[in-house]
């Protein structure tokens, strides 16, 4: 009986404990959650990294977007789950950067950067921009537009269910960049010497600093563009201080490549200087054109001369300047060969202007054994250009007709030709005589 009573009491105690536990479960939630019932996102933006740019530069503007929103109401021990989206969280964030001036052109489209929680490190976004070469020095506020959604009405219909209501919001925040002063050059005057293919001369430049910055330790540089026919022989000229509005004169020696043709070729000009912060800066380049004339060519305008074999004759050869430049101290040289010789194959021609012709006279000796026919000889002109540089023309062919020796001709006809003619005449006469006698005998 005692054993039965003990077992009954134990069962009763266990049942009581179970009832207490179940009652506690009904009376209180499984776990308490903290609830934030008020507040909104508070977004801010600022340029990070480089915020100074120069005119003409391709820029990357880095912007940090942060959320500093603070919850205004906090409720403890309500509900069984935490909020998934707090009222201070900015969701579906899209940012776009604009420029109110043509001095700065924004190239990037609006960018979606997702969710920005409050009190976080923020989200960085970059925009590509082009700074106009005409942009003036100073600060430029650029409007950054931020579109986002946030939850402003949270309804807990059940202990474990929330009903979120989102609203759209838009903030426009100015972010500021600065355009630094710099030296900007303008070519006031370009005065190149007249040069031709394969020659050299001087280029004289007048350059003005039209920028707001004063440059010190400035050097003007002439830079070849790719395979341009203009090649700077002297590429740098030191000009020292180059203040805003200042003008500098400099001179460069340039040459035209041997493959240059009759046209204008470009060359770049820039200035390297030290700015007020001690930095060495290169200005934007300015391009100028240098006219180049094709290599001066010459042609023969005189008729083909004739010389009898075995004689010494004076032959006139007329050369014409077909180029665009005047040549000075010109000399012609004729190179004979074979049985044709010259006592002096160089003739002084002097100055030959474009389109002008001059005549050289050569004493040409033709050996008696030379065969008749046309012979071609090489000639060249050596001359000086406008700068006194020695130049040589391409080969100019000179044609001469060689006639039979005078002793072997009658009335200008070779004896061999006359003999052949006599033989032919004799044969024709013999045939005629034979035919006449035969006809006579038949009568």
Model pLDDT for residues 154-204, shown as the tens digit of each residue: 555 555 555 667 889 999 999 999 998 889 999 999 999 988 888 888 999
Q: Which CATH number fits domain 35-179: 2.60.40.10, 3.30.930.10, 3.40.50.300, 2.60.40.3680?
A: 2.60.40.10
pLDDT at 120: 85
Query: Comparing C-alpha atoms, which of 133, 124, 131, 123 is closest to residue 106?
Result: 131
CA distance 166 to 92: 11
What kind of fold does domain 298-403 have according to CATH? Immunoglobulin-like (2.60.40)
Most trustworthy range by pLDDT among 26-35, 146-155, 355-364:
355-364
Locate 269 and state its tokens: 């000009």
Residue 307 has pLDDT above 50, yes or no: yes
Q: Is the separation of the CB atoms in 67 and 150 below 8 Å?
A: no
Q: Which neighbouring-strand residues pair with 313?
A: 364
CA distance 387 to 180: 44
Query: Comparing C-alpha atoms, which of 315, 345, 311 is closest to residue 331?
Result: 345
pLDDT at 37: 57
Q: Which run of H or of E encompasses 309?
A: none
How many DSSP H helices and E strands does the chain contain? 2, 33
CA distance 234 to 430: 88
For the chain, the distance separating the N- and C-terminal CA atoms, rounded to the nearest angstrom, is: 198
Q: Any residues with CB less than 8 A from the CB of 437 and at least 6 apart, and which?
A: none
Q: Please give the full DSSP string across 64-119, using - where no structure is assigned.
A: EEEE----S-EE-S-SSS--SS-TT-EEEEEEEE--SSTTEEE-PPPEEEEEE-TT
Half-sphere exposure of 87 (CA within 13 A, CB side): 15
pLDDT at 161: 53
Q: Is the separation of the CB atoms in 55 and 184 below 8 Å?
A: yes
Q: Is the separation of the CB atoms in 373 and 338 below 8 Å?
A: no
Q: Where do the domains of the chain lie? A: 35-179, 185-293, 298-403
Query: Comparing C-alpha atoms, which of 365, 190, 185 is closest to residue 291?
Result: 190
Query: Comparing C-alpha atoms, which of 59, 50, 69, 70 is closest to residue 135?
Result: 59
3-state secondary structure of 243: coil
CA distance 186 to 211: 9
Half-sphere exposure of 407 (CA within 13 A, CB side): 5
pLDDT at 421: 76
pLDDT at 428: 84
pLDDT digits (tens, 9 = 90+) for 401-442: 999 987 555 555 566 666 677 888 878 877 877 777 777 676
Locate 39 and state its tokens: 């507040």
Residue 30 has pLDDT above 90, yes or no: no
CA distance 379 to 399: 10
pLDDT digits (tens, 9 = 90+) for 227-285: 999 999 989 999 999 999 999 999 999 999 988 989 999 999 999 999 988 999 999 89
Query: Comparing C-alpha atoms, which of 145, 129, 141, 170 is closest to residue 95?
Result: 145
Locate 74 and state its tokens: 């906090």
Which CATH architecture is the domain 185-293 placed in? Sandwich (2.60)
CA distance 197 to 190: 20
Strands (E), 98-243: 104-106, 111-116, 123-131, 138-158, 161-179, 185-192, 195-196, 200-209, 215-224, 230-232, 236-242
Which range among 15-19, 315-319, 413-417 shows the weakest confidence by mean pLDDT?
15-19
Residue 11 has pLDDT above 70, yes or no: no
Q: β-strand 161-179 against 123-131: which pairing, if any?
A: unpaired
pLDDT digits (tens, 9 = 90+) for 332-384: 999 999 899 988 899 999 999 999 999 999 999 999 999 999 999 999 999 99
Q: Which run of H or of E encompasses 180?
A: none
Question: 185-293 and 298-403: same fold?
Answer: yes
CA distance 327 to 347: 15
Half-sphere exposure of 415 (CA within 13 A, CB side): 5
State the CB neighbour count (10 A cutoff) for residue 177: 19
């Amino acid at each position: 009986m005692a054993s039965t009573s003990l077992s009954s009491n134990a069962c009763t105690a266990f049942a009581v404990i179970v009832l207490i536990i179940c009652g506690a479960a009904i009376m209180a939630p499984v776990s308490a959650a903290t609830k934030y019932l008020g507040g909104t996102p508070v977004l801010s933006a600022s340029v990070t990294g480089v915020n100074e740019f120069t005119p003409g530069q391709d820029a990357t503007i880095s912007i940090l977007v942060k959320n500093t929103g603070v919850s205004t109401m906090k409720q403890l021990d309500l509900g069984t789950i935490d909020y998934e989206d707090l009222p201070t969280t900015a969701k579906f964030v899209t940012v776009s950067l604009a420029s109110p001036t043509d001095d700065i052109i924004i190239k990037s489209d609006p960018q979606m950067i997702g969710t920005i929680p409050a009190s976080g490190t923020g989200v960085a976004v970059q925009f590509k921009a082009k700074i106009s070469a005409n942009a003036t020095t100073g600060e430029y506020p650029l409007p950054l537009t931020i579109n986002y959604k946030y939850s402003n009405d949270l309804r807990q219909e059940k202990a474990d269910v929330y009903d979120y209501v989102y609203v759209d919001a838009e903030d426009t925040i100015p972010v500021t960049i600065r355009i630094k002063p710099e030296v900007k050059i303008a070519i006031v005057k370009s005065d190149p010497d007249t040069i031709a293919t394969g020659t050299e001369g001087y280029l004289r430049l007048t350059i003005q600093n039209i920028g707001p910055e004063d440059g010190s330790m400035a050097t003007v540089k002439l830079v070849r563009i790719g395979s341009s026919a203009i090649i700077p022989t002297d590429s740098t000229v030191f000009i020292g201080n180059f203040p805003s509005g200042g003008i500098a004169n400099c001179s460069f020696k340039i040459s035209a490549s041997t493959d240059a043709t009759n046209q204008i070729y470009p060359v770049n000009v820039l200035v390297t200087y030290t700015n007020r912060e001690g930095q060495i800066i290169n200005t934007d380049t300015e391009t100028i054109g240098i006219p180049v004339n094709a290599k001066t060519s010459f042609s023969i305008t005189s008729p083909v001369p004739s010389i009898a074999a075995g004689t010494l004759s004076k032959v006139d050869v007329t050369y014409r300047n077909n180029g665009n430049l005047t040549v000075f101290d010109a000399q012609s040289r004729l190179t004979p060969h074979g049985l044709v010789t010259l006592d002096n194959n160089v003739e002084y021609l002097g100055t030959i202007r474009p389109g002008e012709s001059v005549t050289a006279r050569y004493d040409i000796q033709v050996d008696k054994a030379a065969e008749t026919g046309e012979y071609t000889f090489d000639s060249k002109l050596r001359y000086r250009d406008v700068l006194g540089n020695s130049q040589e023309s391409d080969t100019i062919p000179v044609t001469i007709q060689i006639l039979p020796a005078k002793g072997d001709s009658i009335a200008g006809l070779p004896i061999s030709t006359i003999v052949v003619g006599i033989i032919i005449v004799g044969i024709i006469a013999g045939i005629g005589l034979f035919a006449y006698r035969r006809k006579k005998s038949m009568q």
